Amino acid sequence: MHAKGNCCCSFDDYKLTTEWLLQQTHHRPKVAVICGSGLGLLADGAANKKTFRYQDVPNFPVSTVTGHEGSLVFGTIDGTSCVFMKGHFHLYEGYSLCQVTFPVRTFKLMGVESMLVINASGGLCDDFKVGDIMIIKDHINLPGFAGQHPLFGPNDERFGIRFPCMSDAYSKVLRRLALEVGAELGCSDIMREGVYCMVSGPNFETIAEARMLQILGCDSVGMSMVPEVTVAKHCGLRVLGLSLITNKVSLEYGREEKVHHEEVLETSKMQSEVLQKLVTRLISRCQQESINTH
Residue pair 250/207 in contact by the 8 Å Cβ criterion: yes
Annotated catalytic, 27?
no
Nearest to residue 8, comparing CAs of 152, 143, 142? 152
Q: What is the enclosing helix (H) or strand (E) of 140?
A: strand 133-141
Annotated catalytic, 120?
yes
Q: What is the enclosing helix (H) or strand (E) of 220?
A: strand 220-222
Query: Active site residue: 3, 14, 37, 119, which one?
Result: 37
Query: Active site residue: 27, 68, 139, 234, which one?
Result: 68
Query: Active site residue: 85, 115, 120, 134, which one?
Result: 120
How far apart CA 90 and CA 290 sit, in angstroms, is: 30
Annotated catalytic, 110?
no
C-alpha to C-alpha distances, 196 to 49, 139, 145, 182, nearest whole angstrom: 32, 5, 15, 19
C-alpha to C-alpha distances, 86 to 35, 74, 78, 160, 191, nearest whole angstrom: 5, 11, 20, 26, 23
Query: Active site residue: 119, 224, 243, 268, which one?
Result: 224
Query: Active site residue: 81, 247, 268, 272, which one?
Result: 247
Annotated catalytic, 115?
no
Residue pair 236/125 in contact by the 8 Å Cβ criterion: no
Query: Active site residue: 115, 223, 225, 232, which one?
Result: 223
Cα radius of gyration rounded to whole Å, the chain: 18
Annotated catalytic, 26?
no
Annotated catalytic, 43?
no
Annotated catalytic, 220?
no
Q: Please, what's the largest Cα pairwise distance for the chain?
A: 57
Annotated catalytic, 292?
no
Annotated catalytic, 261?
yes
Query: Active site residue: 27, 90, 139, 234, which one?
Result: 90
Catalytic residues: 37, 68, 90, 92-93, 120, 223-224, 247, 261
